[in-house]
Amino acid sequence: MTTSLFVFFIATPMYTTEVRFAIRGGSDTMQATSPVSSLFSSGSGPMDGYVDGYAARDFLVSREALARLGHRIDIRKLFIRTNSDPLVRLPQNADDDQLFDAYRARVTARFNMLEQIVVMDVSSFKPEDSVLIASSLVRMTEEFADQMNQRAREDALRFSEQELARAERRATEARQQMANWRSETGIVDPTADVTMLNGLINQLETQRTADQNELATIDASGASDHPRRRPLLLDIKTLTDRIAETRKRLVGPSGSATDQISRYEALNAALEYSETNLTSARQALDYARQAAIRQQKYVIVIAEPRADGRPSYPDPITSLLAASIIGVGLAFFGSLIVSIVRSQFAA
């Protein structure tokens, strides 16, 4: 009788909103064609789903979640009702601990390992209030999930950006050094000069060999006063001097083609290395950006917050059944005690 009186006349109705959602990475969200299909995508791997799911569940029932929720909505106003029954009543001057106890009683979350989804139930005195609280908690969970690896993403991007800046600076310095050297020497590519000098030496040697052969023929004939003998000697000497001078330009100690090639090859190697390093740094930054997008966390709502039009509390059938069981138990033990007492007096 007392239970019926409480259930039907004293208990304050409360309405529950259920919401189901999953936490997935950016690659899962982009590849999925629907919220349900995204549950079975393998972008982040099953272990990430477990970690994210349990983390979200623990966050939803934490003091941190209550504090963040208080910045979004007036949770005290929604939880406090002066004419509510004693079982769900929260004092007007409730402290933080009492508010948190009420929050834990009215907000429950569990993680379904098989489906890798979080199921959250929110109870309040009005259906629209429970929907408001549930929707706010879902948005907070998405922010929380994305913040879990935000620092790692930012560190990776910052490192890649710093490496790119260093690579650009080194490439600029290498280009400037090459430009300065070309401006000082007036040479674009010394290897072309070496090819030209070698070709000139070959021509001079060919001409000198022809003159030497002609001179040898004259000497073999015994004509020491031959009119061509003296000019040939002069030509051979001139060609020999020119060959020596040209060879000196190739292998001389300073300003020679060999020295120019050595310096050019060093500058060119540094330039090529810096350009290759710059290309790699740009690719690394692009990869880091793509990885950061893939590592972002998103909340995929499977079942939107919808309040049941019927009160979830009190449950008349459950309450009356529990009261009946308790009543039967008390009656049984009461009769047992009375029987024991009567037997004692009869003895």
Distance CA 176, CA 12 (A): 81
Can you give the pLDDT at residue 330?
A: 60
**pLDDT surpasses 60 at 346:** yes
Range with the largest mean pLDDT of 237-251, 273-287, 327-341 = 273-287
Residues 282 and 300 in one domain: no
Same domain, 266 and 302: no
Confidence of residue 297 (pLDDT cuts 50, 70, 90): confident
Kindly state whether residues 177 and 119 are assigned to the same domain. Answer: no
- Tell me the average pLDDT across 202-227: 85
pLDDT at position 35 is 41
Tokens of 60: 């939803």
- Residues 237, 177, single domain; the answer is yes
pTM of the model: 0.55
Range of the domain at 58: 12-153+295-310
**Phi and psi at residue 14, to the nearest 5°:** -130, 145
The overall average pLDDT reported for the chain is 78
In a domain, 118, yes or no: yes
pLDDT given at position 44: 47
Question: pLDDT tens digits, residue range 163-211?
Answer: 999 999 999 999 999 999 888 877 777 777 677 777 888 898 899 899 8
Q: Which amino acid is at 292?
A: A
Q: 200 and 129 in one domain?
A: no
- The answer to whether residue 2 sits within a structural domain is no
pLDDT tens-digit series, residues 262-284: 888 899 999 999 999 999 999 99
Q: Rank 30-34, 43-47, 131-135, 341-345 by mean pLDDT and report only the highest.
A: 131-135
The verdict on residue 238 lying in a domain is: yes
Q: What does the block give as tokens for 136?
A: 């706010």
Determine phi and psi for 61, rounding to 5 degrees: -105, 25
Whether 1 maps to a domain, the answer reads no
In the listed set 239, 261, 290, which residue is the last one of a domain according to the structure? Answer: 290
With contact defined as beta carbons under 8 Å apart, do 148 and 52 qualify?
yes
Q: Indicate if the pLDDT at residue 285 is higher than 60.
A: yes
CB atoms under 10 Å from CB of 56, counted, come to: 28
**What integer pLDDT is reported at residue 87 of this predicted model?**
54
> Beta-strand (E) ranges in the chain?
15-25, 107-112, 117-124, 297-307
pLDDT score for 81: 65
Ranges 103-117, 182-196, 210-224: which has the least confidence:
182-196
Query: Band of the pLDDT at 149, cuts 50, 70, 90?
Result: confident
Residue 50 per-residue DSSP state: H
In a domain, 159, yes or no: no
Quickly state the pLDDT bin for 2 (edges 50, 70, 90).
very low
Are the C-beta atoms of residues 43 and 25 closer than 8 Å to each other?
yes
Give CA–CA dist 173/271, Å, rounded: 9
Say if 77 falls within a structural domain. Answer: yes
pLDDT (tens digit per residue) in 17-62: 999 999 887 655 444 444 433 433 434 455 667 888 899 999 999 9
Q: Answer yes or no: is 245 within a domain.
A: yes
pLDDT for position 222: 77
SS3 assignment, position 223: coil
Dig out the tokens for 194 from the structure.
């070496």
In a domain, 271, yes or no: yes
Number of Cβ within a 10 Å radius of residue 27 = 18
One domain, residues 184 and 273: yes
DSSP 123-147: EESSHHHHHHHHHHHHHHHHHHHHH
Instruction: Let me know whether 146 and 172 are in one domain.
Output: no
Asked whether residue 107 falls in the same domain as residue 231, the answer is no
pLDDT bin (cut points 50, 70, 90) of residue 125 is: confident
| 191 and 278 housed in the same domain | yes
Query: What 3-state class would DSSP assign to 43?
Result: coil
Would you place residue 332 in the very low, low, confident or very high pLDDT band (cuts 50, 70, 90)?
A: low
Q: Are residues 175 and 276 in the same domain?
A: yes
Output the pLDDT for position 175.
93
pLDDT at position 331? 65
Strand, coil or helix: 314: coil
Count structural domains, the chain.
2
Whether residue 271 sits in one domain with residue 139? no
For residues 17 and 120, what is the distance between their CA atoms, to the nearest angstrom?
Answer: 8
What residue has token string 């030509």? Answer: 235
The rounded percent of the chain whose pLDDT value lies above 70 is: 74
- At residue 71's C-alpha, the angle toward residues 65 and 76, to 5°, is 80
Residue 216 has pLDDT above 90, yes or no: no
Strand intervals (E) in 113-228: 117-124
What is the pLDDT confidence band of residue 107, given thresholds at 50, 70 and 90?
A: very high
Do 125 and 221 share a domain, yes or no?
Answer: no
Contact (CB, 8 A) for 297 and 140: no
